[in-house]
């Protein structure tokens, strides 16, 4: 996952994605409310695509072992084609997950 900041593009891991946004694992989260340009590369898509979003929540490394440091980003103004790609990817992930209570 790449995203643009004032100082340029940064690449970090997205550890959680849903239809409405994603969580990026980073030791240097941006401030809540910060607009973000995302370059998303999903398995099964030929090319990466751009999305816009905004930071809605941050976890710092100081919050303890139960919190992954990083930031939650809500997607903003996603067109129908990109939303369909995200939804297909999320549904594929859900189908591959074991049912609740089963270890993998």
Domain extent listing, the chain:
2-96
Instruction: Supply the pLDDT for residue 40.
Output: 82
| Residue segments in the chain with a per-residue pLDDT below the cut of 50 | 104
Residue 62 gets which letter from DSSP?
A: G
| pTM metric for this prediction | 0.73
Asked if the 2-96 domain carries CATH number 2.40.10.220, the reply is yes
Sequence-distant (6+) residues with CB within 8 A of 60 are 29, 67, 69
Instruction: Supply the pLDDT for residue 72.
Output: 93
Instruction: Supply the pLDDT for residue 93.
Output: 77
CA distance 3 to 8: 8
Instruction: Supply the pLDDT for residue 25.
Output: 86
Q: Which neighbouring-strand residues pair with 40?
A: 49
Instruction: Supply the pLDDT for residue 79.
Output: 92
In which order are the strands placed within the sheet that holds 21-25? 8-11, 2-5, 35-40, 49-59, 70-76, 21-25, 13-17
Instruction: Supply the pLDDT for residue 80.
Output: 92
Instruction: Supply the pLDDT for residue 101.
Output: 55
């Amino acid at each position: 996952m790449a995203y643009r900041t004032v100082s340029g593009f940064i690449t970090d891991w997205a550890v959680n994605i849903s239809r409405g946004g994603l969580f990026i694992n980073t030791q240097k989260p941006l401030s809540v409310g910060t607009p973000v340009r995302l370059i998303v590369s999903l398995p099964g898509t030929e090319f990466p695509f751009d999305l816009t979003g905004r930071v809605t929540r941050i976890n710092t490394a100081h919050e303890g072992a139960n919190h992954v440091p990083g930031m939650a980003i809500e997607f903003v103004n996603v067109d129908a084609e990109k939303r369909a790609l995200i939804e297909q990817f999320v549904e594929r992930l859900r189908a591959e997950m074991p049912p609740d209570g089963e270890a993998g």
